[in-house]
Structure 1
Amino acid sequence: MKKILVFAVLLLNFFIISNSVSAAPTIQVIINGTDQSYDQPPIIENNRTLVPLRGVFESLGATVQWNPEKREIIATKKAQTIWLKIGSKTTKVNGAVNEIDVPAAIINGRTMVPLRFVGEALGANVKWIADKRIVQITTDQSQQEVLPQFKQLQSDDPVVTMKTTKGGTVRKMRIYNAKPISPTIPPVLTTLRKFQGS
């Protein structure tokens, strides 16, 4: 009878412990207001939140290169170059040596880096909301190029140059004009289609 009682107590403890150690809810990543999804979700290790480097960096506009022989990663974004090595706490941002709390690690085939490193390396604002398990990453809007606003165009201006922040092509443009551009074009509205900007 004692053996059955001991077995029942052990079995009960097993179920209680397994329920309390059940998988923690996933960590949500939001970049500039957009919910992100990665094949290797962020994890918490040694009290540090680790995020997938390639997924986060590419979402922030960086290019990531992996050197499997040296186990090194080089990421570039505009004039910034970021270097790190798997298993090392040493990183370089534009040649300046930095230390991170937790070394970069490969987990399920993905390079994972501390969340704070993302902000420090790419100049993003990083916020960890612990109670909701949310990582918020935003870029500083003041760093984005501000395009001039046209209030009035002169009718004798021969060329209108348009530039977009995404390097895109203007497909449709409306010009409101009180005076005719030419004798054959009505003065109220002119629509240009398939305008190829440079």
Structure 2
Amino acid sequence: MKKFVLAAAAASLLLVSATAYAGAPDQSIATRKRVELSAETINDHGRLLVPIRVIAETIGATVTWNPKSRTAAIHKWTETVKFTEGKDKAYFAKRYESGLFALHATVRVANNQVYVPVRFLSDFYGYQLTTKDGRVTINSPFSQYEQQLLSTGELASARKYVMGKALRNEHFANKPIPSLPKQWEGYSTTYLFPVGEANRFYLLSEYTVWFYERQGDFFVVTWEANIPVGTDDMQHSFLNGEITDATGPKPVQGKDFFYYRIGEAMTTTIITAGKLANDGTVTETGMKRVVDGEKAIETGTLDLKLPGEKRKEA
């Protein structure tokens, strides 16, 4: 075995030595502050294996150990990855999927520690890894440009990025709530951003509402609820608290929202944008209707911010 230094660009680490290891609060690794940990590693034909405890502490996860099955599990949000001694595949369980993925090296147990390939951080979570002179650096999944855009970028541009990125790489903090049956052909999706913000929003779709927020290097659904089936106006029902199966108190209340709604039925798509005030007043700033792929009518502006709206994150 060799000594190596794991350099995680994070604000802080909490080092705990116990059966279940508690990690640090989820912070952006993008701060580039280096935290160096000395640890034993194993080089398996060019694949670097690192103690799972070190990895968990670095990314703010926890670890459990099952001595009977010789399996260590790393837990972050509601997601679990299990590593079994002698296996070169790991089992994962997420909200909508589960299965096996290749580790490209065998899990080992030595000196009372479980060693796993550090590459799984990239394969499963999307972290960017660099190795140089015996130093492994864990970088944010976001590029420097993306980090700047999310932190201080122009409001409409940041929202556009978030609306695409968050839904492709979402994580869930809570267990699933009951699913409601689909009620009609087509779909309707509404984004509700608190005025001035881009890093958190509500998403309303098919009588369910989710609250997304950026936590460090990821977008996490930290709250969700259902809206009674058959409701004609989901936005107002949501504002009025007409919800069921909620995972807790609504995280953002008493604020005005910028809304962006996309609805489709048969061959017609309607996109609207505007302001949804806390008292339920709707001020539309733009609308576009598309029929059979051709624009039929467009009024106002569908820019992803209100006229004169300035960025002010919570």
Give the TM-score range, shorter chain.
Answer: 0.5 to 0.7
Partner Cα separation in structure 1 for residue 40 and residue 195 of structure 2: 41
Residues 76-91 of structure 1: matches in 2 within 5 Å? Answer: 76-91=75-90
Distance 1:164 1:77, change over 3 A: closer
Distance 1:69 1:103, change over 3 A: same
Q: Deviation digits for residues 98-157 of structure 1, max 9, x if unmatched? A: 12111110121111111212222332111112xx11101123246989997969xxxxxx
Query: Partner letter of residue 106 of structure 1?
Result: V
Name 2:26's counterpart in structure 1: none
Query: Partner letter of residue 112 of structure 2?
Result: G
Aligned residues: 130
Q: Which has the higher contact order (CA 8 A, sep 6+)?
A: 1
Query: Partner letter of residue 109 of structure 2?
Result: I
TM-score, L = length of structure 2: 0.36
Superposed displacement of residue 46, structure 1: 2.4
Q: Deviation digits for residues 34-58 of structure 1, max 9, x if unmatched? A: 22325x4223232221111121122
For structure 2, the residue ranges without an aligned partner over 5 or more in a row are 10-31, 152-161, 163-192, 198-212, 217-314
Would you say 1:30 and 2:10 are equivalent positions?
no
Q: Does the 8 Å CA contact 1:31/1:138 hold for their aligned counterparts?
A: yes
Name 1:99's counterpart in structure 2: 102
Q: Does the 8 Å CA contact 2:7/2:37 hold for their aligned counterparts?
A: no
| Percent of residue pairs bearing the same amino acid type | 22
Query: Partner letter of residue 140 of structure 2?
Result: T
Would you say 1:70 and 2:47 are equivalent positions?
no
Query: Partner letter of residue 135 of structure 2?
Result: I
Distance 1:79 1:35, change over 3 A: same
Partner Cα separation in structure 2 for residue 35 and residue 93 of structure 1: 28
Query: Partner letter of residue 139 of structure 1?
Result: S
Q: Deviation digits for residues 39-82 of structure 1, max 9, x if unmatched? A: x4223232221111121122201111111111112211113221
Secondary structure, in 3 states, of the residue corresponding to 1:27?
strand
RMSD: 3.3
Q: Does the 8 Å CA contact 1:62/1:76 hold for their aligned counterparts?
A: yes
Partner Cα separation in structure 2 for residue 112 and residue 59 of structure 1: 15
Would you say 1:111 and 2:110 are equivalent positions?
no
Partner Cα separation in structure 2 for residue 123 and residue 149 of structure 1: 30
Residues 128-147 of structure 1: matches in 2 within 5 Å? Answer: 128-129=131-132, 132-141=133-142
Q: Does the 8 Å CA contact 2:65/2:72 hold for their aligned counterparts?
A: yes
Q: Does the 8 Å CA contact 1:31/1:136 hold for their aligned counterparts?
A: yes
For structure 1, the residue ranges without an aligned partner over 5 or more in a row are 1-22, 152-162, 167-198
Partner Cα separation in structure 1 for residue 65 and residue 36 of structure 2: 22
Q: Which has the greater radius of gyration?
A: 1
